[in-house]
Structure 1
Amino acid sequence: MSKNITENKMKRMQKLANDKGIITALALDQRGSLVKALQKATKNAGKDFDMEMVYDFKKIVISVLSSYSSAVLLDEQMGFKAIKAKDPKTGLIMSYEETGYDVDTPGRLPRLIPNQSAQIMIEKGADALKVLIYYNPNDSDEINDVKKAFAQRYGTEAMAAEVPTFFEVVTYDDKYASDSLEFAKEKPQLVIDSMKEFTKDIYHIDVLKMEMPFNYKYIAGWNDDPDGQSAYTEEDAKKYLRDLSDAATRPFIFLSGGVPTNVYQRELKLAGDANVAFSGVLSGRATWADGVDIFVNEGEAGLTAWLETQGKQNVEDLNEILSTTAKPWYDIYGGMDELEIIKRPKL
């Protein structure tokens, strides 16, 4: 499967991946969820919260950990200090979507940040763009046609700007809680069907950022609770991973989804055992979440010390796992030799 790619996009893709073509990226574009986590931690500690804590937390994490990652994912709204603090050799992926969704409008519809564009973000240093979309393949056409059109506009704009697109899909079903057994049973097909849709050429997506096609809490033997309910066996989970991989026609990476660090590592090893052709990770809370309470209670010095030891170890452990499980992003097209580099004239 050969692939045409412009010279500028190729240079940016190479900056986002390590020298083996694996994307070992750190995600810290959380906005509303990080605010809530810091508010909870300050309340528990009997302290006052202010927004500077969010800006500073992001800056400190990125200043310490970015040099161990091939790229970092940040938002400019709350991560403007972090963007300046990142290692210059590390690629920068910038969020293009507004955080959250309007709960009063059915369908969890996506919205772009109104004062941003692909070109503006490139001028601010972005090597790639990212949007998140909530998607249920079984929703009505009225809802999903809006999301498909949104994805096409995003991909087409970025294609014109010659900047790589990361497209994050988070599945849901409003009938069930996201952590319920009922949703766990649905999730594999929702994730796989989402891959089948957004891997299509019409969207011009360069890298799909996908969930694991299961909820680890419902894999038999993965739950320490002897009375815990299960939705699938470990062999089922491996099959879902293979089905997801088989559906892909372009590179994809796994998000961490807020699971504990050891669970995320176990999930990635399972993907390796299943010979899944994924190209890396964008790991967020699984890498840095434990630092939130430390920052609130011990300040910058305490967080920095934790990041330089456990935080760094979390990243290096992931990098080690990826070195034996992940595949270069260009392998989906048959290897580097199958990429046809196109040089566009300057406008």
Structure 2
Amino acid sequence: MTKKRISRGKFEKMQQLSNQDGVIAALAIDQRGSMKKMMESAVGPDTYNIDMVYEFKGLVSQELTKYVSAILLDEELGFKGIQDKNPQAGLILSYEKTGYDANTPGRLPELLPDMSAQRLIAKGADAAKVLVYFNPDEADEIIQKKLGFLERLGDEARAADIPVFVEPIVYDDKITDDHSPEFAKIKPKKVIDTIKELTKDKYHIDVLKVEVPVLFKYVEGYTENDDSHVYTQEEALSYFKEASDAATRPFIYLSAGVPTKTFQEELRFAKLAGATYSGILGGRATWFEGVAAYAENGKEGLVKWLDTTGKANVETLNTILKDGAVPWYDAYGGLENIEVFDLNLAD
């Protein structure tokens, strides 16, 4: 295998984001609009105020980064989390604007206007994360806009010497319910085709943060009703393996808002399939129930929940990763096949 050349800044930051096994065992709490809605729904509109979101993110970061290799946060609502995280945990910062302009076709991505890769580094980031809605079956005009965006993003991250994590969320313009059996049938091909494209060298994406390639609640044996499955277990296993084999760079799984037990089952299933994933960014599957604990019993109730149930959620995921995930550098043939070089940046 040809030696993989990685700049020193990127290499050292990737190691900072990983645990002792080279696996990215990370926590995600970069939700913005949805986080506000979750909190307001939990405490009630008459009680809700934005300081609750700030405090919640700060406490989750403070307590749970004791047990993870890194955390993904946004600065807008997660500034307390940035301050309060465990110093040993790596930091991934969101670089994209939340949501998309519904009046413009294609769910086009947009970066935060007052941010840059260099500014993220100045705020302590070890990586930049960008979410992109991606439909590989969309009109070529839209696809090319997104691919051009990703090429520019990759070039900026290379110049700044910081890893970039890209989170492609697949969708379909005709089947708008992405939890439906109809969407479940078309999701595997969309995920696989997206991975094939975005792990090409020209985008310089360091880590792809991907969805599992199936809607897991429709896998035979994992459904609420055995008659409602869309995939047999053999089919689902093959989709996991095909998606993994399509990746030419490290990839990790996101929890995509599924329940805690479901995310754990997905990761165990990935191992059965032989998927060579390099970790996770676990979000709501890790801390979602803490919102109710905070609403009911305030700061003290949340800290108690985080130090018991939240900790247990993370430790269970860490055990699953120990058993099933592979180091990020295995995608390049192992550490011995990586050549680290110094990027000479002008002052």
- What SS does the aligned partner of 1:89 have? coil
Asked if 1:233 is matched to 2:232, the reply is yes
User: Cα RMSD between the aligned structures?
Assistant: 1.0
Matched residues in 2 for 1:346 and 1:190: separation? 38
The one-letter code sitting in structure 2 at the alignment partner of 1:7 is R
Match of 1:24 in 2: 25
Matched residues in 2 for 1:221 and 1:321: separation? 20
Asked if 1:248 is matched to 2:247, the reply is yes
Match of 1:11 in 2: 12
Matched residues in 2 for 1:246 and 1:346: separation? 35
What does 1:23-172 align with in structure 2 at a 5 Å threshold?
Answer: 23-43=24-44, 47-172=46-171
Matched residues in 2 for 1:42 and 1:178: separation? 28
Deviations 1:103-147 (A, max 9, x none): 111111111000000000101100000000001100001111111
- What SS does the aligned partner of 1:53 have? helix
Long gaps (5+) in structure 2: none
Deviations 1:205-263 (A, max 9, x none): 00000000000111122112355x22101111110011011111000000000111111
TM-superposed deviation, 1:278: 0.5
Matched residues in 1 for 2:230 and 2:202: separation? 34
How many residues align structurally? Answer: 344
TM-superposed deviation, 1:7: 1.2
Matched residues in 2 for 1:103 and 1:345: separation? 42
The one-letter code sitting in structure 1 at the alignment partner of 2:29 is L
The one-letter code sitting in structure 2 at the alignment partner of 1:167 is V
Deviations 1:132-171 (A, max 9, x none): 0001100001111111011111111001111001000110
TM-superposed deviation, 1:346: 4.4
2:161–2:343: 8 Å Cα contact kept in structure 1? Answer: no
- What SS does the aligned partner of 2:322 have? helix
Long gaps (5+) in structure 1: none
What does 1:280-299 align with in structure 2 at a 5 Å threshold?
Answer: 280-299=279-298
The one-letter code sitting in structure 1 at the alignment partner of 2:196 is K
- What SS does the aligned partner of 1:133 have? strand
- What SS does the aligned partner of 1:116 have? coil
Q: Percent identity?
A: 52
Match of 1:216 in 2: 216
The one-letter code sitting in structure 2 at the alignment partner of 1:336 is L
Deviations 1:153-206 (A, max 9, x none): 111100111100100011001211111111100000000000001000110000
Match of 1:259 in 2: 258
TM-superposed deviation, 1:270: 0.6
- Please give the TM-score of this superposition, normalised by the length of structure 1: 0.97
Match of 2:189 in 1: 189
The one-letter code sitting in structure 1 at the alignment partner of 2:15 is Q
What does 1:320-339 align with in structure 2 at a 5 Å threshold?
Answer: 320-339=319-338
2:278–2:326: 8 Å Cα contact kept in structure 1? Answer: yes
Matched residues in 2 for 1:294 and 1:324: separation? 31
Which stretches of structure 1, 4 residues or longer, exceed 6 Å deviation after superposition?
Answer: none
The one-letter code sitting in structure 2 at the alignment partner of 1:208 is L
Matched residues in 2 for 1:128 and 1:217: separation? 32
2:217–2:224: 8 Å Cα contact kept in structure 1? Answer: no
Deviations 1:51-102 (A, max 9, x none): 1111111000000001211000000011111100001110000000011111
TM-superposed deviation, 1:297: 1.3
Matched residues in 1 for 2:214 and 2:333: separation? 28
- Please give the TM-score of this superposition, normalised by the length of structure 2: 0.97
Match of 1:275 in 2: 274
Which has the higher mean CA deviation after the structures are superposed, 310-319 or 212-221? 212-221
Matched residues in 1 for 2:311 and 2:122: separation? 30
Matched residues in 2 for 1:20 and 1:199: separation? 23
Match of 1:178 in 2: 178
